[in-house]
Amino acid sequence: MRLATWLCLAAGQLAAQTHYDLLLKGGHVIDPKNGIDVVRDVGIRDGRIAAVQENLPSSSATRTVDAAGLYVTPGLVDIHVHVYAGTGVPHVYYGDNSVYPDDHSFKACTTTMVDAGSSGAHDFPDFKQRIIDRAKTRVLAFLNIASNGMDSGPVENDLGSMDADLAAATVKQHRDVLVGIKSAHYRGPEWTPVDRAVQAGRIADVPVMIDFGLFRPERPHSELVLKHLRPGDIYTHTYLDRVPMLDDQGKVRPYLFEAQKRGIIFDVGHGGGSFVWRHAVPATQQGFYPNSISTDLHVGSMNSGMKDMVNVMSKFLNLKMSLKDVIAASTWNPAREVRREELGHLSAGAVSDIAVLRLETGKFGFMDVEGRAMAGTQRLGCEMTILGGKVMYDLNARASIAWDAK
């Protein structure tokens, strides 16, 4: 047999053998890591991405989903949520301020959530067995530098409980789920919480995420992002009213661009009190965009201006961030920020966490944390969420067989 003929036969056999458990057909794939922004079919096999190509035949798949007119992207990665629910403790984030992850993740196309410091070294084991080990959502976490976790009050402000060695040792012991160190809501004039968080981050070789609490003159925000944090560390609540973002002429202060340039990550962390249009509009008009989009999901944000991941992403679309950049800031960028580079993309062989999004055009309104509205013309909605190849949410029953089919 001539070699060319043999090669053709071999290729034919390979194609015939190719089988997909699930095939998403005709969707517009946006996969920022791989520079894909075009209509493609996505084949899934054994929970992994098997192929992203043109014209994969439906005959090769057990189930085919018509994704025409929709966007197919990596599953959304939300790096600021509070999901340490169920302890019964009122008015704290290691309790009733938190929500259960599966109640909110999949219907917003989120496949990975990163809890932002609701637990510290002392209560992390309880958080892990109560929530992380039992949730269907992929839940990772930043560990609070305050050992007793996040109450947004005296517990979290106790300098005596901020032990860098203990926090670092806990991260090292649970590297499978702990991705960094958090400091939040500090009210005092000292740099201690930030510096101990960075120290722990250095020992464990992980990034830190900072909520700067009260912005006190003794510890200027510019010094935080220019001196105390390392490149790769994350400042969350970028468009918070307390950030001294604009000068008297309404210009974005240069230190913010400088900090972003030196590698500080600016994360949205919308929440119930941390996103105002009077900062977000002028800042984005002047080119100061976030590196990552996150919700700061908790009971105080879930039904107010924040709502969910796709609503926060829609706000940035209407702030003239391109769809491709919005997707990057919600998938590959946050995955890299928490150093989970196996997530946030659709490379062949990657775990198949996928979001299928609908982009609607019309007249919409978006609320900030002060109750102010901004009108918009675009809104993203979540159609389908796939986690590890399994359909977790399917708004229009696209993956189902018709009820009267034989």
Interface positions with Zn ion (CB under 5 A): 116, 296
Q: Which residue is nearest to Zn ion (CB)?
A: 296
CA angle 382, 353, 293 (to 5 degrees): 60
Q: Is 249 exposed, middle or buried (0-12, 13-18, 19+ CB in 10 A)?
A: exposed
Question: Measured from the CB atom, is 184 or 391 closer to Zn ion?
Answer: 184
Radius of gyration of the chain (CA): 22
| Cβ closest to Zn ion, residue 242 vs residue 358 | 242
Where in 229-353 does DSSP place strands (E)?
Answer: 234-236, 265-267
Paired sense of beta strands 20-31 and 61-66, if any: parallel
Minimum Å gap between C-beta 80 and Zn ion is 6
Closer CB to Zn ion, residue 31 or residue 296? Answer: 296
Q: Contact, 133 vs 334, CB < 8 A? A: no
Minimum distance from residue 73 beta carbon to Zn ion (Å):
25
**Helix, strand or coil, per DSSP, at residue 256:** helix
Comparison of 32 and 273: residue with beta carbon closer to Zn ion: 273
The answer to whether the Cα torsion of 133, 211, 110, 85 is positive or negative is positive
User: In whole angstroms, how close is the CB of 296 to Zn ion at the nearest point?
Assistant: 4
| Least CB distance to Zn ion at residue 213 (A) | 11
In the complex with Zn ion, which residue's Cβ is closer, 284 or 301? 301
User: In the bound complex, what is the minimum distance in angstroms from residue 156's beta carbon to Zn ion?
Assistant: 11
Minimum CB separation of residue 330 from Zn ion in Å reads 17
> Is the Cβ of residue 33 or residue 185 nearer to Zn ion in the bound state?
185
